[in-house]
A and B are shown apart, each in its own frame.
Chain A
């Protein structure tokens, strides 16, 4: 073989490689994420210890974390409500990862999707839910898809790296949102602060368990997210488009050799990812918030990167990772109330999870037995 020494992979490519698990590999898909989460939780406890939190309080906060996420119907509803946009947005990012695109712009796509959904949600009047709601959702998806396509087109046409362009598009999306929220027709009449009109009842995602208890926030968006998991799985593994996505991500040279059009694929992948992020934004404004305000996205677009990484860019993995992160969010709020531990700790734990996923060797060093057989199997294949 005459291939040159492997080129040092740029950081983004390196993370991408780790973000996509080989299918059917228990250690890659289950063991690594689970161990990462456990170690991150332990280190979270260590962080609390180091900052002078008593053992008893730490114990209480972990109990609160669990009770607040899975301990009751209400807790479960909160977990799933928080998980829904993370799953949707994470699916979009996973699609990008599979195709070798490191899309940092989910946040911007999500915000604009939300704004578009709000606009359709209050501007169109007199429509029944069955028409109005889908229109609002589609508006969100289209806005997200168009916004993401800009980055895709820039990459395909000029080679501009998507990490740079999507970050910049995020900033533009933030400021554009601020502008829209301060000006008619989006701004609520009679207000001077940046806030949108409220979404009409006919465009809101129906609550699923309102009959049981009106305070249960879980809504129809969860069903949409579950359908999206199935659709994305189908797209990735059962369609020719997904085959092209995966081929381009795993080996762009081979994809080109096989006659795939790389530019077209990049734009389509970004559009799909943007549509899912926009759907997540629509889900928030139509299902939870009822309107848009600055920072309504609450960093979901960034947390979703962690969800996609933790889920190893597999739709089912993203589903579980999204539920876990949703649980951390819901449980974290309970923890803050019950044990007085700042919810920032949750952010620390989430960040640690990403660190461990991105650095499997670290996990291996901490828990050596978890990867021993794998190393042997790989060497044996030589």
Chain B
């Protein structure tokens, strides 16, 4: 099936999300759709999958114009979408989820689970999507859940499949498996769209690349000849530097000393197993590791959000093992939390309120119980200016900002004043290339000013490009240490998988 989008324009009020977009999707081909957050990728695909109706332009399937009145029409036309956030019922089995809504039934409308199971098996074997039809969704890993989503789409006889940021939730190994799946779907003659903002991934897997910026197609690329730098420039609209200049730093004395730290998770299992490390002044230490190897618990213990079960944490000579989050903050330890939307920001609060979220309690932002809003507004305006936060005003709700700008707001709040130490968890997760570059620069600048910095990230590239020293965490332990200037992706990657020489 070949699909053509002709002159698609979609407006929301005065905002033009897509402007005169032309796109061809061909059977047996993977189209990489590249763009920053907010570039209009998702809107465009929602038009294609029938969720939005375009204001102008038309969709042609095999040369014939089609009109979708809803998602149902698009599904019937053979267009399926695998969303970034899975639409699965966690307590149902794989087979039940796949057939949900189009269940095979026996007499009296009883679910025919046998047939469902057989159908799921047939699709799994045909496309090499191995998964147990009787497994419960919440008990299987994310990578398998994604397969279930793909099977779901195939079950509804899709000949074109759109993947919205499919790799965002996968581990590096799962990404490799996903590439295998998408390639085999291509061999099966499906028309595929791979939406992402990760340059390396499109270059690896796509047959053609289209770049979307501010709602317009700004360029096309051939993955065989295009380079990351070309594509990034197309995406952002200006040249992007990938590597942070690594000065030969001369770190000072030890600042944060962790000794024998053991931390439990919610289920009282040991998540961090008696680890030791030191971060010195003027040094960036990166902790690499696949998600779920104790990094979250480590960061929470270091920032006072989780109790340490054993061991000590010393900061600038003071024992802070049992200090509260606020006490640590008062000692100028800044914290960029792992998930800005869960804990870093309050979506219903304004930019200004968020700008003082963890500093509201002391002068100049308050005295006694009286808030000094003018000072808070001034601070917010300064962060917005210094950290390039794109917002209509400081009174805009933080929830209305794009992910990158939300993160710049968090980084600005944490780094925009005098700090001695920064604990940054996933500082650039899910944000656009331009913002990543900017945030990395600010972190490097804080280091150059003598701050100790601990970066915890599952993005290996990020840890590699920023860190002066790299620690690898695996199953709650630090299993390897590398010099940031000489480490290679291969050796760090192997350590992340638990293979240590």
Contact = CB atoms under 8 A, between A and B. Distances in A.
Contacts of B169: 2
Contacts of B22: none
B357 interface: yes
Interface stretch (B307-315, B333-341, B443-451): B333-341
Contacts of B344: 254, 257
Given A3-B341, A240-B366, A243-B360, A259 B349 contact: no
Nearest to B40: A382
Interface in B302-331: 303-305, 324-326, 329
A112 to B, nearest CB: 27
Given A2-B291, A376-B12, A254 B353 contact: no
A377 interface: yes
Given A247-B357, A254-B346, A238 B373 contact: yes
B175 interface: no
A381 B13 CA distance: 10
Contacts of A1: 84, 168, 339, 341, 403, 429-430
B349 A246 contact: yes
Contacts of B85: 3, 5
Interface string A327-340: 00000000000000
B454 to A, nearest CB: 17
B403 A22 contact: no
Interface in A3-44: 3, 5, 20, 22, 24
Given A240-B366, A380-B12, A380-B17, A254 B429 contact: no
Contacts of A239: 369-371
B305 A238 contact: no
Interface residues of A, number: 30
A215 interface: no
A259 B361 CA distance: 10
B342 interface: yes
A371 to B, nearest CB: 13
B370 A238 contact: yes
A370 interface: no
A240 B337 contact: no
Interface string A268-288: 000000000000000000000
A379 B38 CA distance: 12
A256 B366 contact: no
Nearest to A237: B371
Contacts of A238: 370-371, 373
B358 interface: yes
B346 A251 contact: yes
B349 A258 contact: no
Contacts of B90: 5
Contacts of A258: 325, 357-358, 360
Contacts of B228: none
B325 A256 contact: yes
Contact of A253 (B86, B342, B348, B368): B342
B27 interface: no
B397 A250 contact: no
B419 interface: no
B300 to A, nearest CB: 10
Interface size range on B against A: 35 or more
Interface string A226-247: 0000000000001111110011
A21 B90 CA distance: 32
A377 B358 CA distance: 30
Interface string B6-40: 00000111110100000000000000000000100
Which secondary structure dominates where chain A touches chain B?
helix
A298 interface: no
A3 B339 contact: yes
A241 B369 contact: yes
B178 to A, nearest CB: 15
B329 A259 contact: yes
Given A5-B85, A22-B397, A373-B13, A251 B347 contact: yes
B329 A3 contact: no
Contact of B349 (A5, A250, A373): A250
Given A1-B84, A2-B169, A2-B429, A257 B370 contact: no
Given A1-B403, A2-B168, A259-B329, A243 B371 contact: yes
B227 to A, nearest CB: 27
A259 B397 CA distance: 21
Contacts of A250: 346-349
A239 B365 CA distance: 11
B43 interface: yes
Contacts of A380: 11-15, 17
B9 to A, nearest CB: 14
A240 B371 CA distance: 6
A253 B395 CA distance: 22
B380 interface: no
A242 B14 CA distance: 36
B369 A377 contact: no
Given A2-B169, A250-B349, A382-B43, A256 B343 contact: yes
B342 A3 contact: yes
A380 B43 CA distance: 10
B501 to A, nearest CB: 30
B345 interface: yes
Contacts of B38: 382
Contacts of A251: 342-343, 345-348
Contacts of B361: 240, 259
B42 interface: yes
A258 B361 CA distance: 10
Nearest to B165: A1
Contacts of B397: 22
B326 to A, nearest CB: 3
Given A1-B429, A247-B346, A240 B369 contact: yes
Given A243-B353, A243-B371, A382-B42, A254 B348 contact: no
Nearest to A243: B360
A382 B347 CA distance: 14
Nearest to A4: B85
B250 interface: no
A238 B335 CA distance: 26
Interface in B353-383: 353, 357-358, 360-361, 366, 368-371, 373
Nearest to B365: A240
A376 B337 CA distance: 32
Contact of A257 (B14, B358, B395): B358
Contacts of B305: 256-257
Interface in A84-142: none
Contacts of A22: 348, 397
Contacts of B249: none
A5 B138 CA distance: 11
B12 A254 contact: no
A382 B39 CA distance: 10
B349 to A, nearest CB: 6
A140 to B, nearest CB: 24
A373 B169 CA distance: 34
A4 to B, nearest CB: 8
A310 to B, nearest CB: 20
22 contacts: A1-B168, A1-B341, A2-B168, A2-B169, A2-B291, A3-B339, A3-B341, A5-B87, A24-B395, A238-B373, A240-B371, A243-B371, A251-B342, A251-B345, A256-B343, A257-B344, A257-B358, A258-B360, A259-B358, A259-B361, A376-B13, A380-B11
Q: Which 6 A-B pairs have the closest CB atoms?
A: A380-B12, A259-B326, A380-B15, A258-B358, A257-B343, A253-B343
Given A1-B84, A256-B305, A257-B358, 17 more contacts: A2-B168, A2-B430, A22-B397, A238-B371, A238-B373, A240-B366, A240-B370, A247-B357, A250-B347, A253-B342, A253-B343, A254-B343, A254-B346, A259-B324, A377-B12, A380-B17, A382-B38
